């Protein structure tokens, strides 16, 4: 019997480039997880929707992927688009839209590569990223009619697919890492493979004021959503860490939270706010989670997509227009601790940073010392 779940594929215009937007009921965790794992499908923070580059074959690929799961797919918007005479001027999209699909052997190899990465205990997001960029590289080889991986082909891919497409420095480094791991996985020897990694831009983190943080929590009425947001802020957690927490990781007596296998596969303890304890206990009594502290509909960990949706809705309800993400709460936690006089070495431990240099960035956004500086204009 065909599932009544409906997926809508529709055009999405961004900077005069057409993408395929994938719309469905975002309360369905199964569908969200399935879509996020699809190759070349990304979550757009700007439009709050899954999307991918547009081409005719891509629509067919998505249609088959979803239909194979028994879901109904509606792509009527693209049929209507063909009949429309006045279309926006379209820029040439990335070279990725011109790449042929993977061969059967390449699909098998990528599948084994994914398992190999998982066995090395890379995070779910890192595995998907490395698989995604390596698949693009192999498709690029097909496009260039190349049978062997060479330093030259990697350098050319880096130029055509990343530099010319104006991808971010972070994405470029991910591509290089993904391909290097694939070379190790296949035990391929590549002569003179030495693509220099570009230095990342040193950007200061966005931080919310204490009053903004309070307004954010006050505007969040749902108990589960409020508990999640307060926990992320009051403990300085990465969202992935918060969603992996189990009830047994909360030490109510000592006022600590045990973070296990965090970034860099490290364990650490962080703070459990005294003011959060009654809220947290009320949440647990009301929702009765079985294993994970924050669970989805079927007992799996609450998804990051759902958490981002919660955060965005709370920002809107609180009237906060400053650009913020869930990670902004972690930045705000660290900055507010520093402004309260907490030693930066303790902040480093609470955040789980390897180097104090990483934590020192918060000294650049803290206002504690800045407000003590006398402006020379005031003495004119």
Percent helix, strand, coil in the chain (nearest 5)?
A: 50, 10, 40
Could you tell me the two tokens for 148?
A: 């062997």
- Nearest 10 degrees: CA dihedral of 264, 268, 274, 275? 0
**Which parts of 58-175 are beta strand (E)?**
72-74
**Given CA atoms 307, 178, 351, 251 in this order, what sign does their dihedral have?**
positive
112 is catalytic: no
362 is catalytic: yes
327 is catalytic: yes
Contacts of residue 290, defined as CB under 8 A and 6 or more positions apart, other chains included, come to 299
45 is catalytic: no
Q: Which of these is catalytic: 139, 181, 238, 244?
A: 238
SS3 (DSSP) at 312 = helix
79 is catalytic: no
Q: Which of these is catalytic: 263, 268, 308, 312?
A: 263
β-pair type (17-23, 49-53): antiparallel
Q: Which of these is catalytic: 53, 258, 308, 327?
A: 327
Which helix H or strand E contains 73, and what residues bound it? strand 72-74
What is the CA 107 to chain-centroid distance, rounded?
25
Residues carrying an active site annotation = 238, 263, 327, 330, 353, 362
């Amino acid at each position: 019997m065909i599932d009544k779940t409906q997926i809508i594929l529709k055009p999405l215009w961004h900077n005069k480039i057409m993408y395929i937007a994938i719309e469905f009921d975002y309360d369905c965790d199964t569908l969200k997880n399935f879509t996020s794992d699809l190759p070349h499908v990304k979550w757009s923070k700007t439009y709050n929707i899954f999307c991918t580059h547009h081409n005719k074959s891509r629509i067919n690929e998505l249609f088959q992927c979803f239909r194979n799961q028994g879901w109904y797919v509606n792509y009527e918007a693209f049929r209507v688009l063909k009949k429309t005479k006045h279309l926006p001027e379209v820029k040439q999209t990335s070279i990725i839209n011109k790449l042929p699909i993977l061969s059967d052997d390449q699909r098998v190899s990528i599948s084994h590569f994914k398992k190999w990465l998982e066995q090395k205990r890379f995070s779910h997001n890192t595995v998907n990223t490395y698989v995604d960029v390596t698949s693009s590289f192999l498709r690029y080889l097909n496009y260039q009619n190349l049978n062997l991986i060479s330093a030259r082909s990697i350098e050319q891919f880096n130029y055509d697919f990343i530099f010319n497409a104006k991808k971010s420095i972070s994405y470029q480094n991910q591509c290089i890492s993904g391909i290097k791991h694939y070379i190790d996985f296949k035990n391929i020897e590549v002569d003179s493979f030495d693509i220099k990694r570009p230095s990342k831009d040193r950007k200061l983190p966005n931080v919310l004021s204490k009053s903004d943080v309070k307004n954010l929590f006050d505007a969040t009425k749902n108990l589960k959503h409020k508990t999640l947001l307060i926990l992320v802020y009051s403990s300085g957690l990465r969202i992935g860490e918060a969603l992996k927490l189990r009830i047994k990781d909360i030490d109510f007596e000592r006022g600590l939270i045990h973070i296990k296998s965090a970034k860099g596969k490290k364990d650490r303890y962080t703070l459990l706010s005294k003011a959060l304890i009654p809220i947290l206990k009320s949440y647990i009594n009301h929702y009765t989670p079985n294993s994970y502290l924050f669970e989805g509909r079927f007992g799996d960990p609450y998804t990051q997509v759902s958490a981002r949706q919660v955060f965005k809705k709370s920002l809107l309800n609180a009237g906060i227009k400053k650009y913020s993400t869930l990670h902004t709460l972690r930045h705000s936690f660290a900055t507010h601790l520093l402004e309260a006089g907490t030693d930066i070495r303790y902040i480093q431990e609470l955040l789980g940073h390897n180097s104090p240099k990483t934590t020192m960035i918060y000294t650049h956004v803290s206002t504690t010392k800045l407000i003590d500086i006398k402006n020379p204009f005031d003495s004119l």
